[in-house]
Amino acid sequence: MNNIPAIQLDCVSKSYNDFMLEPLSISLEKGLSYALIGPNGSGKSTLFRILNGLLQPSTGSIQIAGLTPKLADVDIKMRVGYVPESPTDHGQVRASEVIDFISRLYPRWDGKLCADLLEQCEVSTDQSYNRMSKGMKKKLSFVLALSARPEILLLDEPMDGLDFFAQKFFTEQIHHVLQQEGTSVLMATHRVEDIRRISDVILLLNKGRFLGEFEKDHLLDQWKTLWIDRLPPHPQEIAGVVEWEEGPLHRLVTHNHMQTVEYLAASGMSITRSTSLELDEILTIMLRNPHICSS
């Protein structure tokens, strides 16, 4: 049972008139935190809507916690906590009524946790839901998702609209469920600090095409900028090198630090300086050079 992936997609695609989410097959391990990232319009929300059962894929099949939607919709919803990008419209009711309604849908609902989280992030449940600020609605949405004690958390731009304190608070809560409860997390985000703080693995999407999955720590470890005093006639032949720039000292960017260092040493070229790259620099270069994503 333990080897069942949190989420499994087999050849899942979605076609609109002007856009196609190309067939995507991935398996997300239980207990890990995945960041789904890509430029605007690359298909992240489309994929989230498919995972939430709000959209039918054009092709392919999905399993969530080993269960197939359609056959086990209710069983799946009980296992998944969802923080949508825009707050759900609950109408003219009070926040406490929203909580009461949602709590009945989840068998593992933790009322004490819900009350504690609401108090700690200072959300009052007496007010009318419609009159809550955007940030308050987002906090409530987070509290509802966490209090359901889900196996899987789906977070669509989760920190959007939250103040600094709430961002820190919910980042800590996500760490807690990842480390203490083995919850799996899939988060769509544009915020580099969320990827850095929360994610183990990055799923990269561009214009509907899945470019691959990458361990965040591995990227930060292997991508380097190197300065060398002599550039060979064909820099593209240097193992691991992605981009280069001529100058008083020539600058190389490598996605495989060890390989490049060995190549340069064997070719008698010495490295003057070596620095790490920021995650956003790495991801930008990957999007500029999609061919290296599969190498």
Query: How far apart are CB 16 and ligand ATP at their closest, in Å?
Result: 3
Comparison of 38 and 69: residue with beta carbon closer to ligand ATP: 38
Query: How far apart are CB 46 and ligand ATP at their closest, in Å?
Result: 3
DSSP secondary structure, 1-37, as one string: -TTS-SEEEEEEEEE-SS-EEEEEEEEEPTT-EEEEE
| Nearest of 9, 47, 5 to residue 28 by alpha carbon | 5
Q: Coil, strand or helix: which one is 43?
A: coil
Query: How far apart are CB 188 and ligand ATP at their closest, in Å?
Result: 7
240 forms part of the interface with ligand ATP (CB under 6 A): no
The angle formed by the CA atoms of residues 83, 53 and 14, to the nearest 5 degrees, is 110
Q: Which stretch binds ligand ATP (CB under 6 A): 36-44, 103-111, 170-178, 248-256?
A: 36-44
Total of residues contacting ligand ATP (CB under 6 A) = 10
42 forms part of the interface with ligand ATP (CB under 6 A): yes
Task: Name residues contacting ligand ATP, limited to 44-83 (CB under 6 A).
Answer: 44-46
Task: Name residues contacting ligand ATP, limited to 5-34 (CB under 6 A).
Answer: 16, 19
DSSP secondary structure, 234-282, as one string: -GGGSTTEEEEE-SSSEEEEES-HHHHHHHHHHTT--EEEEEE--HHHH
Instruction: Supply 261's token pair.
Output: 């260092």
Asked whether 183 and 177 are in contact (CB, 8 A), the reply is yes
Query: How far apart are CB 90 and ligand ATP at their closest, in Å?
Result: 23
Comparison of 45 and 225: residue with beta carbon closer to ligand ATP: 45
d(CA 252, CA 289) in angstroms, rounded, equals 15
Q: Which stretch binds ligand ATP (CB under 6 A): 40-48, 113-121, 194-202, 261-269?
A: 40-48
**Quick one: which of 6, 28, 43, 87 contacts ligand ATP (CB under 6 A)?**
43
Contacts to ligand ATP by CB under 6 A: 16, 19, 38, 40-46
